[in-house]
Amino acid sequence: MSCLAFAEKLNMYVPFVIVKLSLTKKQLMKTLYSGGLVFDGSGNLLENHGVLIDGERISSIAPIGEFEGYSGEKIDTSGGTLLPGLIDCHVHLVYCGEADPKSSLLKSSPGQIVMNAFENAQKTLSSGVTSIRDLGGRDYLEFAVRDACNSGRQLGPTIMAAGRMICMTGGHGNAFGRIADGPDEVLKAVREQIHAGSDVIKLMATGGVMTPRVNPEDAHYTEEELRVGVDEGHRFNRTCASHAQGAAGILNAVRAGMDSIEHGIFMTQECLDAMLEKGTYLVPTLAAVNNIFINRDNGIPDFIVEKTIRVRERHHQSIKMFYEAGGKIAMGTDAGTPFNVHGDNCQELQYMADLGISNSDVLKISTANAADLMAMEDRGQIREGAFADMLIVSGNPLEDISAVADRGNHRSVVKNGSLVQFN
C-alpha cells in the first residue's frame, strides 16, 4: 500500500482515536461579546463596541448602545481586547520541536506521526491561533489531521497543507520532500501534490539551516524551474510559497511569480525592490532562528547551531529593512523546528515587536495580512459576515504586545463561533 493510500485509510479511523484529547467546544448560537476593546484586524481599535455572533459567523459590530435590550447569551470582555484569531502561515505539524526533529520523525510510525500532528494542531488552537498553513509534512499523513479539523469532525484550527515540499537532488528538505530536477520534473511534482490534495505548493529555492551539507546562501532551483512550478500551481488556483534564504534564490523565486518568500534571511535591496514591485509577501519565521540560538547548548545538532549563529543577525536586518520599506509581511513561525513548539506560536509577535515593528502592524501581520496571503477572505478580521474566529486577551495589545504574545494573558479562544474550552 502506498503512503498516500495509507494516509487516506488512516483518515477513516482518526476521529475514533482522538476523542480523548483535552480540547472541547461549547456551541453558543447567538452571543454578544462586549465590555472591552475590539481590534478589527485591519488596524482599527474600537471602543464601546459589541460583537454579535450568530452561529459560526459575526452578524454585527456596532456601538454598544445599539444592543440595548439584547437578552441572549453575553460574554463580558471588560478590561481586555477582542481580536481576530491569530493566523500562522508557516508550521510543520509532523515536527514536535525537539532538539533534532528530523531524527525523531524518522523513528516514528505513521500512526504516531498522525497523533503527534493532531496534538500539535490542538496545542496551536489553544494558543489563540485559529488558522495555519502547513508547509511540509511526511507522506501526506498530516492531511488526515487537516481533513478532520476542517470538516468539523474534530476541533482544531483551519488548516491549509502543502504536502511534500519540492526540492532538488541533495537540496534542502530532501529527507521528506519530493525530489525533482529540471522544469519537466518540477511540473510533474507540482501535479502530484495537487492530485494528492495539496492546498498550497511549496518549492525550495535555496539551501537551509536544518539540512546538513547545504548552505542557506546558495540558490538551488533556477528561475525557470521555479517559474514552471508556480505557473502550474497558479493554473490550478493554488498559492505558491518558497523557502528562500540566500539573495540569488530569493530573486529567482520572486521573478518566478512566487506568492510568498519564507524566511528571506539574506535579502538585498535588489530583492526588496523586486518584492515591492510584485507585491510578494514575506513570512519572516523569526521564532525558528531565535529559538535555536537561545537553545544552542541544549542538544541541537552542531551543523544547525553553526548556521544559525551565522545567519541570525542578518535575518533580523533583512526583516527590519523590508518592514521599513513598506513590504507586505504575514506571520509565520516555522513551528516544529528545534525548541519552536506548537502552542507557543504567539511568541512570534514579541519577536516582531522587538525588531521595531509597531504593535498595530504586528497584529495586522498576524491576522488580516496572514488571511490575505492564504486567500481566506472570511477570516482574519472582525467584520460582519466573517467567520467568528476570535481571541480575547487581558489588556490592550496596542499598548503592550505581551497581551497577545504572552499566553498567560489569553482569556478565551473562539473558533467558528464556538467557545474553545481547555479541560
Helix axes 347-354, 286-294, angle to 10 degrees: 90
Return the SS3 of 77: coil
CATH topology of domain 23-85+379-422: Urease, subunit C; domain 1 (2.30.40)
Round to whole Å and give the CA distance between 103 and 175. Answer: 10
Round to whole Å and give the CA distance between 94 and 117. Answer: 5
CA atoms lying within 13 Å on the CB side of residue 306: 8
* Tens-digit pLDDT profile for residues 228-267: 999 999 999 999 999 999 999 999 999 999 999 999 999 9
Round to whole Å and give the CA distance between 216 and 343. Answer: 27
The ranges of the chain with pLDDT < 70 are 1-22, 27-28, 423
8 Å CB contact between 387 and 56: yes
Task: Quote the pLDDT of residue 26.
Answer: 75
Task: Quote the pLDDT of residue 290.
Answer: 98
Q: Is 86-373 CATH 3.20.20.140? A: yes
* Tens-digit pLDDT profile for residues 101-130: 999 999 999 999 999 999 999 999 999 999
Round to whole Å and give the CA distance between 147 and 357. Answer: 35
Round to whole Å and give the CA distance between 329 and 260. Answer: 9
8 Å CB contact between 93 and 342: yes
Candidates 202, 142, 139, 213; CA nearest to 166 is 202
| Count of beta carbons in the 10 Å neighbourhood of residue 290 | 21
Task: Quote the pLDDT of residue 1.
Answer: 42
Q: Is 195 exposed, middle or buried (0-12, 13-18, 19+ CB in 10 A)?
A: exposed
Residue ranges per domain, the chain?
23-85+379-422, 86-373
Total-model pTM: 0.93
Round to whole Å and give the CA distance between 380 and 386. Answer: 8
Candidates 242, 238, 262; CA nearest to 252 is 242
* Neighbour-count burial for 236-255, b at 16+ CB within 10 Å, e otherwise: eebbbbbbbbbbbbbbbbbe
Return the SS3 of 87: strand
In the numeric block, the cell 478589527 is attached to: 40
